[in-house]
Amino acid sequence: MANIQHIAVIGGGTMGQGIAELIASKGFETTVIEQSDELAKSAYQHIEMSLDKKLAKWGITPAEKKLTLSRIKVTSDFSALKDADLVIESVYEDLNTKIEVFKRCDELCRPDVIIASNTSTLSLTEIAASTNRTDKVIGLHFVHPVPKIPLVEVVRGLKTSQTTVETVLKLLSDLDIKGIEVYESPGFVTTRLIILLINEALYTLMEGVATAEDIDRAMKIGYQFQAGPLEMADHFGLDSVLAAMERLYREFGDTKYRPAPLLKKMVRAGHLGVKTGEGFYRYNEDGERVDRKEEQSL
């Protein structure tokens, strides 16, 4: 079995940053590859900010922060892939974009290297078909926020080999992450269930059954959710929620996956959640809620 020491993460967005922070904090050399130097630099800064937040919450020490950062390199140069022992792709959730990235990885990576995709809804078999190593392509669907949620859905494509699955499961156990094996199906388990819940919460809000605050509170207190469904939607980004919903609708062809009209309306209005400062709630630049005065004063 290959000895994995150096992992390349392609895409430095929210998920890519989280994945990079997690694997670097567990001792792996990590390279984040972005489209441009600016984006790469910004990914690094966001990882540093995330570590600072952890430091402020006593989760890590200054030395641990330094050590984690020392293991992370960011670049826009894809040739860095030739030193990688494993690749995790985490670019925009679009089939053609992902296929382009996989083709490039297939050319540049050593033939023994496993290429994993963080896709949540796309067909892995289709992505794998764009490479000459269909047995070494696998899905690793992380859950946001990555450094805090120790769960990954391990997705087998049609041709993914058992060795590849085992190598990846071993890696996940080194990362202290629980791997759940799932078969290829839109949304797998996590996305399919949570997106549907969010969509239903939107209908509930739209129909005036309860306020946003109370819908979230009902699920938090009633079912011990750490965050309510609408709060979650704000964190995922309403555009991402809509995109996932539309894909599920298209793939399954079942009206139960029809996106709530309110969701479309909010996306059109540019109220995408935390990243635009406004969704169901309002947020400051650090992503903290600013509409909860009584709790803020604590």
Nearer to other proteins, 54 or 136 (CB): 54
Nearer to other proteins, 213 or 239 (CB): 213
Identified binder of other proteins from the candidate list 66, 103, 110, 148, rule CB under 8 A: 148
If we measure between CA atoms, which residue out of 148, 150, 175, 170 comes closest to residue 27? Answer: 175
Q: Per rule CB under 8 A, is residue 3 in the interface with other proteins?
A: yes
- The minimum distance between CB 59 and other proteins, in angstroms, equals 4
Tell which positions 171-200 bind other proteins, by CB under 8 A: none
Nearer to other proteins, 148 or 250 (CB): 148
Choices 51-59, 79-87, 165-173, 234-242; region in contact with other proteins by CB under 8 A: 51-59
- The minimum distance between CB 51 and other proteins, in angstroms, equals 13
- The minimum distance between CB 234 and other proteins, in angstroms, equals 17
Encoded one letter per residue, x for contact with other proteins by CB under 8 A and - for no contact, window 56-85 reads -xxxxx------------------------
Tell which positions 101-130 bind other proteins, by CB under 8 A: none
Beta-carbon contacts of residue 223 (< 8 Å; ≥ 6 apart) = none
Tell which positions 10-49 bind other proteins, by CB under 8 A: 27
Nearer to other proteins, 219 or 241 (CB): 219
- The minimum distance between CB 211 and other proteins, in angstroms, equals 22
Nearer to other proteins, 257 or 281 (CB): 281
3-state DSSP of the chain: CCCCCEEEEECCCHHHHHHHHHHHHCCCEEEEECCCHHHHHHHHHHHHHHHHHHHHCCCCCHHHHHHHHHCEEEECCHHHHHHCCEEEECCCCCHHHHHHHHHHHHHHCCCCCEEEECCCCCCHHHHHCCCCCHHHEEEEEECCCCCCCCEEEEEECCCCCHHHHHHHHHHHHHCCCEEEEEECCCCCCHHHHHHHHHHHHHHHHHCCCCCHHHHHHHHHHHHCCCCCHHHHHHHHCHHHHHHHHHHHHHHHCCHHHCCCHHHHHHHHCCCCEHHHCECCCEECCCCCECCCHHHHCC
- The minimum distance between CB 298 and other proteins, in angstroms, equals 7
Q: Which residues bind other proteins (CB under 8 A)?
A: 3, 5, 27, 54, 57-61, 148, 298
